[in-house]
């Protein structure tokens, strides 16, 4: 019990670093994911290299300033990284749409186009970095809740497109869509709610825990499909099975737990302790 109390106190005193570390880890993760996705396509367009090089470059200052406080130069560098990430993410989404849907607009081409909201992850990291560098005057917690809502809604839409490609042949493919939509609505409600202390904090933590379970279960099912397709080359199997995609729900759950470090409940408790 004492160990948990010490861990909580450490997390509360280092929450800014934890958030920056989370952003850095996600930049590295998106670089790895884009490498697998675009490698299977042979990097046939120079723009595919951008989604690999940019996150790797962005990870350098975010990792650096996870372990040291950013001064004036550091904040300028991190702000530049944030805005470039936002722009590149939007351009990547437009490029994925232009690749097939705009050439032959139809529901079928929209479903089978490149992951439309995949690049939005880079935009989301840029927005999160801006929020971390310049928290709103009314507090960062509500902003983090809204970022979490956008993340869950994006996951629901990405799962909808991905699972529509195989016509939802298993009922369980609807679970992450429902989970992402429900979690997005709850986090959006939390973000727009005026009276922060009256919100049921346990509800958000329960949703985060459920999201973690959905991500782990999805990884199991995707891994089982990956191992079953032994006749397909390894690299192509990684792409077709979307092996690491369900881990995004675990990532969203981790973000929700990190965001809880700014919960008004902790603020009130800290003030009482002081």
CA proximity to 188, closest of 136, 223, 151: 151
Task: Give the integer Cα–Cα distance in Å for 273 and 74.
Answer: 33
pLDDT of residue 107: 60
pLDDT of residue 2: 63
Buried b (16+ CB within 10 A) or exposed e, 253-263: bbbbbbbbbbb
Provide the 8-state DSSP code for 261. G
Q: Report yes or no: 19 and 51 within 8 Å, Cβ to Cβ.
A: no
- Averages of pLDDT over runs of 10 residues in the chain (274 residues) are 69 87 93 77 75 89 90 91 93 78 60 73 92 81 90 89 78 89 91 64 88 91 76 66 82 91 66 43
Q: Report yes or no: 92 and 101 within 8 Å, Cβ to Cβ.
A: no
pLDDT of residue 32: 84
Q: How far, in whole angstroms, is CA 210 from its chain's centroid?
A: 16
Task: Give the integer Cα–Cα distance in Å for 154 and 106.
Answer: 21
pLDDT of residue 240: 63
**What token pair was written down for 96?**
């994925």
pTM of the model: 0.84
pLDDT of residue 99: 66
**What token pair was written down for 132?**
């971390």
């Amino acid at each position: 019990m004492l160990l948990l109390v010490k861990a909580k106190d450490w997390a509360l005193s280092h929450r800014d670093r934890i958030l920056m570390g989370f952003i850095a880890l996600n930049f590295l993760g998106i670089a790895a994911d884009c490498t697998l996705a675009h490698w299977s396509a042979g990097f046939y367009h120079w723009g595919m290299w951008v989604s690999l090089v940019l996150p790797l470059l962005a990870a350098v200052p975010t990792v650096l300033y996870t372990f040291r406080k950013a001064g004036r130069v550091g904040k300028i560098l991190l702000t530049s990284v944030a805005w470039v990430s936002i722009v590149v993410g939007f351009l990547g989404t437009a490029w994925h749409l232009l690749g097939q849907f705009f050439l032959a607009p139809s529901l079928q081409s929209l479903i089978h186009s490149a992951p439309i909201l995949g690049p939005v992850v880079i935009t989301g990291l840029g927005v999160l970095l801006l929020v971390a560098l310049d928290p709103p005057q009314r507090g960062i917690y509500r902003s983090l809740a809204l970022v979490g809502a956008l993340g869950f809604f994006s996951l629901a839409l990405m799962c909808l497109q991905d699972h529509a490609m195989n016509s939802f042949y298993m009922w369980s493919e609807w679970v992450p869509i429902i989970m992402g939509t429900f979690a997005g609505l709850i986090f959006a409600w939390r973000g727009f709610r005026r009276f922060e202390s009256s919100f049921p904090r346990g509800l958000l933590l329960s949703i985060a825990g459920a999201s973690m379970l959905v991500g782990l279960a999805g990884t199991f099912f995707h891994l089982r499909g990956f191992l079953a397709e032994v006749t397909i080359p390894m690299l192509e199997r990684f792409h077709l099975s979307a092996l690491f995609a369900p881990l995004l729900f675990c990532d969203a759950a981790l973000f929700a737990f990190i965001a809880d470090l700014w919960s008004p409940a902790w603020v009130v408790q800290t003030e009482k302790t002081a």
